[in-house]
Chains A and B, each alone.
Chain A
Amino acid sequence: MHLSREAIVEGVQRIVGPEDVITDEEVLRESSHDRFRLYEDVHGVYTQPIPAAVAMARSTQQVAEVLTFANEHGINVVPRTGRTATEGGLETAVADSIVLDGSAMNQIIEIDTYNMQATCQCGVPLQVLEDRLREQGCTTGHSPQSKPVAQMGGLVATRSIGQFSTLYGGIEDMVVGLEAVFPDGTVTRIKNVPRRAAGPDIRHVIIGNEGALCYITEVTVKLFPYLPQNNVFLGYTLESMKTGFEILREVMVNGYRPSVARVYDPADAAFHFSHFAEEDQCVLLFMAEGPAGIAKATAEGIEAIVARHQECRKVDSEFIATWFNDLNWGPDKIAQEREEIRQTSNICRTTEISSDWGCINEIYENALRRVVNEIPDITMAGGHSSHSYINGTNMYFVYFYNVVDCEPEEEATKYHTPINRIICEETLLLGGSIVHHHGLGKARTPWVKDEYGSSYYILETLKRAFDPNGIMNKGTIIPK
Chain B
Amino acid sequence: MRILVCFKVTPDFEALREADWVAGAAHGVETRYVRRILNCFDESALEMALRLSDTLAGRGVTVGLGALSVGGREAEPYLKTLHALGYERAARVHSEASLDFAPAVIAALIAGYVRRVDHSDLVMLGCRSGPGDSGTVPFLVAETLGWPCLTQVIEVEPLPDDRVRVACMVDDGILRVTLRLPCVLAVGNAVVSHLRVPTLTDRLARRNKRIDVFRAADLGVDIAAELRRETCVLAGLEGIHRARQGVIIGGATPREKARVLFDSHLKSMIEKL
Contacts and interface: CB of A to CB of B under 8 A. Distances in A.
Contacts of A36: none
Interface stretch (B62-70, B188-196, B237-245, B260-268): B188-196
Interface in A349-405: 372, 377-381, 400-402
B200 A316 contact: no
B195 A344 contact: yes
Nearest to B17: A325
Nearest to B36: A275
Interface string A17-43: 101100000000000000000000000
Contacts of A322: 15-17, 20, 33-34
A19 B259 CA distance: 14
A344 B194 contact: yes
A279 B203 CA distance: 13
B24 to A, nearest CB: 14
User: What size tier do the contact residues of chain B reach?
Assistant: 20 to 34
Interface string A292-325: 0000000000000000000000001011011101
Interface in B1-60: 12, 14-17, 20, 32-36
A204 B33 CA distance: 42
A326 B14 contact: yes
Nearest to A272: B35
B33 A381 contact: no
A70 interface: no
B255 A323 contact: no
A236 interface: no
Given A273-B35, A378-B199, A340 B14 contact: no
A319 B33 contact: yes
A1 B199 CA distance: 53
Nearest to A327: B15
Contact of A344 (B17, B35, B197): B197
Given A322-B15, A326-B15, A344 B196 contact: yes
Nearest to B76: A279
A340 B34 contact: no
Nearest to B80: A279
B74 interface: yes
A316 B33 contact: yes
A325 B15 contact: yes
B254 interface: yes
Contacts of B35: 272-275, 323
Nearest to A320: B33
Nearest to B203: A379
Interface in A124-169: none
B195 to A, nearest CB: 7
B195 A19 contact: no
A381 B200 contact: yes
Contacts of B193: 339, 343
Contact of A379 (B32, B77, B197): B197
A326 B35 CA distance: 10
A62 interface: no
A17 B192 CA distance: 45
A319 B12 CA distance: 13
A270 interface: yes
A346 interface: yes
B208 interface: no
Interface string B168-180: 0000000000000
Given A275-B74, A339-B193, A379 B199 contact: yes
B199 A274 contact: no
A380 B17 contact: no
Contacts of A316: 33
A346 B33 contact: no
Contacts of A20: 254
Contact of A346 (B196, B254, B255): B196
A192 B52 CA distance: 65
A310 to B, nearest CB: 25
A20 B253 CA distance: 8
Nearest to A316: B33
Kindly name the residue among A275, A279, A344, A402 whose own CB sees the greatest number of chain B CB atoms within 10 A.
Answer: A275
B213 to A, nearest CB: 17
Interface of B: 12, 14-17, 20, 32-36, 74, 77, 192-200, 253-255
23 contacts: A17-B253, A19-B255, A274-B36, A275-B34, A275-B74, A319-B33, A321-B33, A322-B16, A322-B17, A323-B15, A323-B35, A325-B15, A326-B34, A339-B194, A343-B194, A344-B195, A344-B196, A346-B196, A379-B198, A379-B199, A379-B200, A381-B200, A400-B197
Given A270-B77, A316-B33, A377-B199, 11 more contacts: A17-B253, A274-B77, A275-B35, A275-B36, A322-B15, A325-B17, A343-B192, A344-B194, A344-B197, A400-B197, A402-B197
Interface of A: 17, 19-20, 270, 272-275, 279, 316, 318-319, 321-323, 325-326, 339-340, 343-344, 346, 372, 377-381, 400-402
A-B interface, 7 closest residue pairs, ranked by CB to CB distance from nearest: A322-B33, A326-B15, A346-B197, A19-B253, A343-B194, A379-B197, A318-B33
